[in-house]
Chain A
Amino acid sequence: MCGIAGLIHRGKSSNVGNELQAMLQALKHRGPDSTGYALYADNDGQNFIMRFKVGENVGEGSSSINEDESVYDKRKELVDDMLKNLGAKVLKEEKLTPYSYRYEMKYDEDLMDFSKKIESIESVEILSIGKSLELIKDLGDAQEVLDRYDLGKVRGTHAIGHARMATESGVDIKSAHPFWGYPFSDVSVVHNGQLTNYWNNRRMLENKGMRFMSECDSELIAVYLAEKMRNGATLEEGMKDSLSGLDGVFTYFVATKDSLGMAKDTMAAKPLVLYESDDLVAMGSEEIAIRSILPHEIDTYDPFDGEVKVWQI
């Protein structure tokens, strides 16, 4: 069934890493397989942050094939060579796990061409590129992923996250949420539900040059919105269009560098509870997620069917 959570501080920064962890931990019973964070951090905004993986987590519960860790290092070297060829200047690199990296880099050219070339290397997937987006996803619950990637200290303005129960595809990082809105920097999506016209849409979007990395139906939302935005639509316009373009049941969140949005399908089949005040919007699949960061009595509500909302920081 999956659990999703999101929050946006308006006009200030906060410890979004810990806040989102608390919200996702409260939703653990909805999705124990993997957890993902899309944190919009207080970076200097000058350089791109690229998070990528060169292999899968093959730990307990994983559906991935076990690989020798030595192949990870070879793939990483290939990525470094490709970055050099593309003219990207790596300013800082961090090895977070044997299979995932965070690079801070300078790059001024087209991100779509860049991503295609990097991902042409076997088993390499860019999890995100952005100037404030830090997208982290891995197997385990919210606490485990937070500890593994040291997210407790991340401060920022907004964040979305996902606790996944694998139903449509495997238990692996590539199928975990959030999905990056390839090839747009700083765009991420989380989804709760099932999309029933996934293959039709996927074929159509692939013909238009868009890329899919997994067979998870939720990835379609990120690609669908990215394609709309590529053709000049605003985020809100793309989201409103998705209510008729996507078939199935869904509640999803999208975040960009300076905004956070939610959309609910026309059947209102998937839950969402929303809290809105002048300086904070918090939402989640269940009220307990919001209560985990706002323990005092608050007014919340369920958005209605077919509702789309977008907030700015």
Chain B
Amino acid sequence: MANIKTNENKTKAQSMGLHSEVLTGKTQQKFFNPDEAENFYYWGTYDVDFNKRIDLDVNDLDCKEANKKIDELMSQGYGTIVIKNPQGKHSLGVGVLNKLNLIFEGSLGYFGVGSIDGPTVRINGRVGWSCAENMMAGKVVIEKNAGSCFGAAVRGGDLICKGSVGARTGIDQKGGTIIVGGDAGAFTGFMMQRGRIIILGNVGINLGDSMYDGTIYVGGKIGSFGSDAIESPMTKSDIDWIKRKLKVAEIGENFDISKMTKVVAGKKLWNYDALEPTEKKGAI
């Protein structure tokens, strides 16, 4: 695509207005071209059948081997994969980019099910730090506790922990919903930019520190508010939305949602007010 300035024949992508850059000289940049069939192929995804189920024992596999095996099973059309003996190993189930029922019978270590886009994951044990980091879509349910940085930088989907979570839950969150049935540690919602967090229990110090946007709902006590995090009144739509989400999460059936505290960004961060609305959108 280099030196397209001298090329009089516009590509289809250019004529469609997908890009208008005029490049000169050498460039490594390659634009989306609807003429090329491979551009419609989402690498690493498979059509799977949920009724096709298989058990996978990862006791003797390391995380790379286990993840490769999961990929292999998806390529064979298995839509329900039950992982036996995860034994707290790190990085299991990462990078699944299609619909899948993924069940872990045991606990995961760090970075479990990170960067996923679409699967429904159930973990019958506990998870370590940075579970579901960068998750884009899908649903993850953890039956026990979770470590720190739970749902770091999630962009979408529902991430549910029925137990308690560590510090910095939802750090840098960009979308989606994080739901915690128990308590959460310090710096919950640290620098979050979008999305919502529901904590039914208590939270530690510096809640919502330096948050740009998004909403945090807390059912229990708050250790302290972080910089630029402020309380906002609960509305009926907040209550209705939380009720619906808790039902999906299968927790907090008799929880009194109306008594929750709603925390939002005060939007007084350095130079935030100096930005135009469109710039603000770009900044977050």
Q: Which A residues contact B (CB, under 8 angstroms)?
A: 266-269, 271, 273, 286-288, 290-291, 295, 297, 299-302, 304-306
Q: Are B128 and A267 in touch, CB under 8 angstroms? A: no
Q: Which residue of A lies closest to B146 (CB)?
A: A302
In the complex the two chains form, is A287's CB within 8 Å of B128's CB? yes
Interfacial chain B residues near A297, Cβ < 8 Å: 106-107, 125
Contact B126 A286 (CB under 8 A): no
Chain A residues with CB below 8 A from B148, complex form = 268, 271, 302
- Provide the bound-state CA to CA distance between A9 and B110, in Å: 27
Give Cα A83 to B132, complex, Å.
59
Most chain A beta-carbon neighbours within 10 Å: one of B126, B144, B183, B187: B126
| Contact in complex: B186, A299 (CB < 8 Å) | no
18 additional A-B pairs beyond A266-B205, A302-B147, beta carbons within 8 Å, are A271-B147, A273-B128, A273-B147, A286-B90, A288-B88, A291-B88, A291-B107, A295-B87, A299-B126, A300-B145, A301-B126, A301-B145, A302-B145, A302-B148, A302-B185, A304-B166, A304-B183, A306-B186
A273 vs B187: C-alpha distance in the bound complex, in angstroms?
19
CB distance from A261 to the nearest CB of B (A): 20
Instruction: Find the A residue at minimum CB distance from B144.
Output: A299
Task: Name B's A-contacting residues (CB within 8 A).
Answer: 87-90, 106-107, 109-110, 125-126, 128-129, 144-148, 163-164, 166-168, 183, 185-187, 204-205
Q: How far is the CA of A290 from the CA of B106 in the complex (A)?
A: 14
Q: A305 to B87, Cβ gap below 8 A?
A: no
**Smallest Cβ-Cβ distance to B163: which chain A residue:** A301
Residue contact B107 to A300, C-beta cutoff 8 Å:
yes
Closest 3 CB pairs of A and B: A287-B88, A268-B167, A302-B166
A290 to B128, CA, bound (A): 13
Considering the chains assembled together, what is the distance between the CA atoms of A279 and B186 in angstroms?
30
Q: Cβ of A305 and Cβ of B186 under 8 Å apart?
A: yes
Point out the residues of chain B lying under 8 angstroms from A291, CB to CB.
87-88, 107
Contact assessment for B145 and A305 in the assembled complex, using a CB-CB cutoff below 8 Å: no
**B87 partner, pick from A267, A273, A288, beta carbons under 8 A:** A288
- Residues on A with beta carbons closer than 8 Å to the beta carbon of B128: 271, 273, 286-287
Give every chain A residue within 8 A of B205 (Cβ-Cβ). 266, 305
Residues of chain B within 8 A (CB-CB) of A302 are 145-148, 166, 185
Known contacts A287-B128, A291-B87, A295-B87; A301/B187 CB under 8 A: no
The answer to whether A267 and B145 touch (CB under 8 A), given A288-B87, A288-B88, A297-B106, is no
In the bound complex, CA of A181 to CA of B106 (Å): 39
Contacts of A267 in B (CB 8 A): 167, 186-187
| Measured CA separation A306–B224 after assembly (Å) | 14
21 interchain pairs (CB within 8 A)?
A267-B167, A268-B148, A268-B168, A273-B147, A286-B110, A287-B88, A287-B128, A288-B87, A288-B88, A290-B88, A291-B107, A297-B106, A299-B126, A299-B144, A300-B126, A302-B146, A302-B147, A304-B183, A304-B204, A305-B186, A306-B186
Task: Let me know if A288 and B147 touch, CB within 8 A.
Answer: no
Question: A169 vs B207: C-alpha distance in the bound complex, in angstroms?
Answer: 36
Contact present for B126 and A271 (CB under 8 Å)? no
Q: How close is B203's CB to chain A, nearest CB, in angstroms?
A: 10
CA distance A302 to B107 in the complex (A): 13
Whole-angstrom distance between the Cβ of B187 and the nearest chain A Cβ? 7
B109 to A266, Cβ gap below 8 A?
no
The answer to whether B125 and A301 have CB atoms under 8 Å apart is no
Distance between A264 CB and nearest chain B CB, rounded to angstroms: 9
- Taking CB atoms, residues of chain A closer than 8 Å to B110 are 286
Contacts A271-B147, A287-B107, A287-B126; is A301 near B164 (CB within 8 Å)?
Answer: yes
Chain A residues in 8 Å Cβ range of B163: 301
Contacts of A290 in B (CB 8 A): 88
A144 to chain B, nearest CB (A): 21
* Given A286-B88, A287-B107; A304-B186 close (CB under 8 Å): yes
Could you tell me the distance in whole angstroms from the C-beta of A173 to the nearest C-beta in chain B?
A: 30
On whether A305 and B204 interact (CB within 8 A), knowing A268-B185, A273-B147, A287-B107, the answer reads yes
Q: What B residues does A269 contact at CB under 8 A?
A: 167
Give the complex CA separation of A295 and B88 in angstroms.
10
Residues of A within 8 A of B168 (CB): 268
Closest residue on chain B to residue A288 by CB atoms: B88
Q: Which residues of A contact B109 (CB under 8 A)?
A: 286-288
Minimum CB–CB distance from A287 to chain B (whole Å) comes to: 3
CA gap between A158 and B128 in the complex, in Å: 25
CB distance from A306 to the nearest CB of B (A): 8
CB distance A305 to B107 under 8 Å? no
Alpha-carbon distance A286/B90, docked complex (angstroms): 9
In whole Å, how far is B61's beta carbon from the nearest beta carbon of chain A?
14
Q: How far is the CA of A210 from the CA of B148 in the complex (A)?
A: 36
A148 to B143, CA, bound (A): 43
In the bound assembly, the distance between CA atoms of A104 and B131 in angstroms comes to 49
Q: How far is the CA of A53 from the CA of B42 in the complex (A)?
A: 60
